[in-house]
Amino acid sequence: MTPLPLRARLLTALAGDPDGTPAWVRALAEGDDSGYFAEGGAVWTVHAGTATFVAGIRALLIQALHPGAMAGVHDFSRYREDPIGRLTGTVRWIICVTYGSTEQAHAETARVGRLHQRVAGTYSTDTGPRTYSASDAALVEWVHVAFTEAFLGAHQLWGGSIPGGADAYVREWAQAGRLMHVSDPPETEADLRARMDAYLERGDLRHDDRVAEVVRFLRNVPFTGSMRLAYRVLFAAAVASLPRAYRKLLGLRRTPLPVITATRIVLAISSRALGSGPRAHDFARDRIQRLQNASQGGVGG
């Protein structure tokens, strides 16, 4: 069998489709409004970049440190049996909320919410068992702030400038937090960092056997060939980019190899491969252009 081109392999991992155009991506061209986030704005810019490849790994590493989040992953996630499917499901939510109409963003958030309804149980602590639920306010906030920190931090290292700066990204992406019922998401970079620090200072985060299992899996996700080599670079980059306190909790060390620079090369190659055909935001631009054309036609009529 002839190996798939790099673009097809990347899109299969990200979208579950070698063309990158499953039904939910094509649906980005539909809808009656421009969505929650402005074309070319902070969220569009950060989420369109290949630095998100590192950000996704970084977010999973950080999120795993919360025992409630880790319990849900351990008890309910199929990441071991179907890692690509798990990745695709997360990417789908990010893309639909970022680039879709408000109707599509709400529909996709509702789909994720239905999956989360069954995610509940207990986990052990030093003071006895505690209950958890994917709808717990504190847990939902943790997932949001860890995601925001990871995507912002990776973009600051590998993605270039952000329209409006880091505060604009945090402020805009707060809308995604509200969609997921985060009552008071951070809206500045300083507030985001303070929220993250508070979890550390309260001792809410910890390393245990479940965290170690996830770290082992993330270190050795079952890619093959050149994808495996590239992923090893991206994992090392995610570790290197973490604030020291999180690396220490995770039991990870930075490699002495120049992975920050190597990652620039991997991401540049990936960007060129993905840019050789349509991407998700192109469908969103089609929707926005259609709406603009209709508006101009109405004014001129």
Out of 84-88, 173-177, 200-204, 291-295, least confident range: 84-88
From the CB of residue 40, how many other CB atoms can be counted at a distance below 10 Å? 11
d(CA 268, CA 30): 30
Q: What pLDDT is recorded for position 122? A: 83
Radius of gyration (C-alpha) of the chain in whole angstroms: 19
Q: Residue 153's closest CA among 49, 247, 244, 243?
A: 243
DSSP assignment string, 167-214: HHHHHHHHHHHHHTT-SS---SHHHHHHHHHHHHHTT-----HHHHHH
d(CA 290, CA 13): 30
pLDDT band at 133 (very low <50, low <70, confident <90, very high): confident
H-helix or E-strand spanning residue 130: strand 128-133
pLDDT digits (tens, 9 = 90+) for 70-125: 887 777 776 666 666 667 888 999 999 999 999 999 999 999 988 888 888 887 76
d(CA 77, CA 92): 16
pTM score, two decimals? 0.91
pLDDT digits (tens, 9 = 90+) for 180-230: 999 999 999 999 999 999 999 999 999 999 899 999 999 998 888 888 999
Question: Across all residues in the chain, what is the average pLDDT?
Answer: 90
Mean pLDDT of 279-297: 94
Q: Residue 92's closest CA among 34, 11, 37, 157?
A: 11
**Does the structure show a pLDDT above 50 at 301?**
no
Q: For the chain, which residues make up each domain, given as ranges?
A: 31-82+91-272
